[in-house]
A and B are shown apart, each in its own frame.
Chain A
Amino acid sequence: ETGVTQTPRHLVMGMTNKKSLKCEQHLGHNAMYWYKQSAKKPLELMFVYNFKEQTENNSVPSRFSPECPNSSHLFLHLHTLQPEDSALYLCASGKTGGAGGETQYFGPGTRLLVL
């Protein structure tokens, strides 16, 4: 396993539920990311946080709400999701602010099913 953990690993929720995904990194990185991975599609970047500040939001619907209380923790709050939101949600962390070319390290993902 990498130094990035995610909970829960699996989640089934109805369209009216509210749930949260949690990510924690133990690598001392200062950037964290949420990605969505759907079958046969490239990873889609959702949100980027640098030093706890959100620096990117790739036109993600407001039913997804990120929260980054510190450089080690990242949450994705979910509410009134749609069945097409069912996917693997991956958290990643990396360094930033350096010369560039910093790679990202991924957690195991949360497999989400929206009924």
Chain B
Amino acid sequence: QKEVEQDPGPLSVPEGAIVSLNCTYSNSAFQYFMWYRQYSRKGPELLMYTYSSGNKEDGRFTAQVDKSSKYISLFIRDSQPSDSATYLCAMLYNNNDMRFGAGTRLTVKP
């Protein structure tokens, strides 16, 4: 079983839709959870960072963590064509050891 599972998509939605991206994990030692956005031909950029179970909101983005279910989500409201990218979930359980999902490719159509 992979430590981090993420549906690779691709996912295509119309502009304005609510997007839900998800990851599951198997290692309960993961404590910190991140979402990265990666545009084509670029490195990943940090979008959201959470520690505890619950929701964290930043503009149109909401990160949700459910440690009991080992499940994390990223919601994008009012999606825009500029949100089209690959979204990577990542999890950290010590200072250096980070595990990534395979990434979900999202396309938002005008």
Q: Mark B27-48, 1 if CB is under 8 A from A, else 0.
A: 0000110101000011111100
| Interface residue range, chain A | 20 to 34
Shortest distance from the beta carbon of A44 to any chain B beta carbon, whole Å: 9
Q: Which of A11-19, A68-76, A101-109 contacts B (4 or more CB under 8 A)?
A: A101-109
Shortest distance from the beta carbon of B19 to any chain A beta carbon, whole Å: 20
Q: Assess whether B61 is interfacial by the CB under 8 Å rule.
A: no
Chain A residues with a Cβ under 8 A of chain B = 2, 4, 6, 31, 33, 40-43, 45, 48, 50, 55-56, 90, 92, 94, 96-98, 100-109, 111
18 other A-B residue contacts (CB within 8 Å) besides A6-B43, A92-B43, A96-B95: A4-B43, A33-B96, A40-B102, A41-B102, A42-B2, A42-B4, A42-B6, A42-B99, A42-B102, A43-B88, A45-B97, A100-B92, A101-B51, A102-B92, A102-B95, A103-B34, A105-B46, A108-B42
A/B interface sample: 15 pairs, CB < 8 A: A4-B43, A42-B4, A43-B100, A90-B43, A94-B96, A96-B96, A100-B92, A100-B95, A101-B49, A102-B92, A103-B34, A103-B49, A108-B41, A109-B42, A111-B41
